[in-house]
Structure formats: structure tokens, C-alpha cells
Amino acid sequence: MAKKEGNASDNSELKQRLASLYTYLSKHLGIKEVPKVVFTNDKKNAEDPLGLTGHYDPQQKSIHVHIAERHDNDILRTFAHEVIHHWQNERGTLTQQRANEPSGHYAQEDPNLRKREMEAYLLGSLLYRDWQDEQRYGPPKSPPVLPSPYD
């Protein structure tokens, strides 16, 4: 599932958690195709207070996660957010009319991409929390209530 780029983490415990989280997300979202995952260990990016944390490439169906100098929880949360974008791409709701523009403000200026970001932050964080709780305390008595997709 994961491809290393640079000196990516060899932390087998993190990899096991990523696989478990993906299984959980895939089950709850009905994801059909496993995305390619690329870990980037970019020290320069890590030193930038506004450095990148991750992104999703819909054409390649790949999730890119920056891992240098980051806590495992932060890496997992970023991964969950990007998995939501993969799910959106499978559903056909992730359109990228402006994503490659140099201004970088596509998430603020494109109404559809704004909705996609809101959905990714909400569902990614919520499902990540649900997965964490299940890891800590075992499965809940009833399935978690999730908001409906935005469209």
C-alpha cells in the first residue's frame, strides 16, 4: 500500500496503524480501490512552520504524506483527510478545475473544492476519532453516526 520516497519512516508500528486506519475508513466509506500511498521525508518542508502535510493526486489516485518531524497522530490524521479526497474522487465529486493554478487559493476560490475540503476535514477527523476510540476501548455497542456526504 505504501511507497517510500527519500528516507521514509521505517516505523513498523506506524505502518500497522496506517493499514488499520485505512481498513476502518474503507469499510465505513465503501472505498473500492486502494490508493497508492507515498511518504515524503522532506526536512526542509518540516522546518517550514507552514510546510505541507499531505495532498491527494486524483489522476494518479495517490496519497502523499509528509512525515519528517511529525507525531504519528498528526501523520494518521493527515492520512485520514487524504483518504476522504480519494473517496470523493471515486464518487466523482472531486473536480479539480483550479487545483493546478499557481495562486494556490483554489480551496478558497472554487466553491466545489471548498465543499470537498469541508467534507474532508469533517469526515476525516470524525472517522479518525472513531478509529482511535475503537483502538483504545474496543468496538462501540452501536455503529457511529456519520453525517451524509455533502452531495
> What is the per-residue pLDDT across 116-141, written as a single tens digit (0 to 9) for each?
999 999 999 999 999 999 999 999 99
Q: Which of these, 99, 127, 125, 126, lies nearest to 114 by C-alpha position?
A: 99
110 has pLDDT over 60? yes
pLDDT of residue 111: 86
31 has pLDDT over 50? yes
Fold of domain 2-137: Arc Repressor Mutant, subunit A (1.10.10)
Q: How far apart are CA 127 and CA 84, in angstroms?
A: 10
Q: How far apart are CA 123 and CA 86, in angstroms?
A: 12
55 has pLDDT over 70? yes
> What is the per-residue pLDDT across 58-109, written as a single tens digit (0 to 9) for each?
999 999 999 999 999 999 999 999 999 999 999 999 876 544 555 677 788 8
8 has pLDDT over 50? no
pLDDT of residue 149: 87
Q: Where are the domains of the chain?
A: 2-137
Cell 465505513: give the residue.
Answer: 28
What average pLDDT score do residues 18-33 get? 97
Q: Which residues pair with 91 in a beta bridge?
A: none
6 has pLDDT over 50? no
Given a contact cutoff of 8 angstroms between Cβ atoms, the answer to whether 39 and 65 are in contact is yes
What average pLDDT score do residues 15-31 get? 97
